[in-house]
Amino acid sequence: MDGSRQGSAEKIDARVPQDAAVALRDVTIAFTLKGAKRYVAVEGIDLAVRPGEFVAVVGPTGSGKSTILNAAAGLLKPASGRVDIFGQPLGGLNGRAGYLFQADALMPWKSALDNVAVALEPRGVRRAEALERARAWLGRVGLATFTDRYPHMLSGGQRKRVALAQMLIRDPEILLMDEPFGPLDAQTRQIMGNLLLDLWAQNRKAVIFVTHDLEEAIALSDRVIVLSAGPAARVVGDFPVPLARPRDISEIRLEPRFHDLYREIWSCLRVEVTRAYADGPA
């Protein structure tokens, strides 16, 4: 890795930008296991995402990718270090963030329209207004004619579109996405990736996007963060993605620079994947 990169032999600079939408400052997260044993999931994490920046996080299984998202969401409290949201310490749930999980979180007894509208209930939005806004969002994700469908009547990609609308209708300033397209087939993943980029480009939010798919990470993001194998995972790579926007995911993967980036990042990630496999159960 050249001198402009922050590689596995170096610790990421702790001087996190003050204008960051999300900043993890020397964050360590640990869990107490059976027998009072302590498991350190991530250790000394320094990571910043600026407003409007799309950051993808990759790493081997068990590297703490979801743990970092949960810390940014306020679902996990660091054992040490701190999480700042727009310069302010996070002291509870992050009300300025939307969270999109890998698994469906739709209510099976509600229609697509109601599943999206329900996201506005905690804000006290009148039902008529909530339904009107939900209908508009379903149109934006390409489901204008599916408002009365229930989750079991929708394909995997359609359910993911409903979940995306459910998150975005609240207009969060930060998007936390935990392998949201993981269960989908390759073609549907590309369609969903392009939809996400289109929506993001209209009103750019800060994004932390966790994925196992390095190609997906490069195609979507402004930066790719690489985590080491766990336990005590840390940041071992921070790679800018200088590919022009707007992007079409299927086309951007054909560009020579895309392949150069893939080889460069994979050279870092491969070391950690190999180590995680070697240290794992037989």
- CB 109, CB 55: distance < 8 Å: no
Q: Which two tokens stand for residue 254?
A: 């054909």
- CB 212, CB 66: distance < 8 Å: no
At how many degrees (to 10) do helices 186-202 and 156-168 cross? 20
> Which position has the token pair 């300033």?
173
Helices (H), 73-185: 112-117, 127-140, 156-168
Question: How confident is the chain (282 residues) per 10-residue block, as mean pLDDT?
Answer: 38 62 96 85 96 97 94 95 95 94 90 97 94 97 97 95 96 96 89 96 96 96 96 96 95 95 97 84 47
Q: Which two tokens stand for residue 277?
A: 């496999």
pTM of the model: 0.91
Q: Which amino acid is at 14?
A: A
Q: Which two tokens stand for residue 111?
A: 């229609």
Q: Which two tokens stand for residue 113?
A: 């329209």
Helices (H), 127-228: 127-140, 156-168, 186-202, 214-220
Q: Which two tokens stand for residue 10?
A: 């170096």
For the chain, domain boundaries: 1-96+174-282, 103-171
CATH of domain 1-96+174-282: 3.40.50.300
Q: Which two tokens stand for residue 227?
A: 């985590």
- Residues composing the chain: 282
User: Quick check: helix, strand or coil at residue 130?
Assistant: helix
Q: What is the pLDDT of residue 280?
A: 63
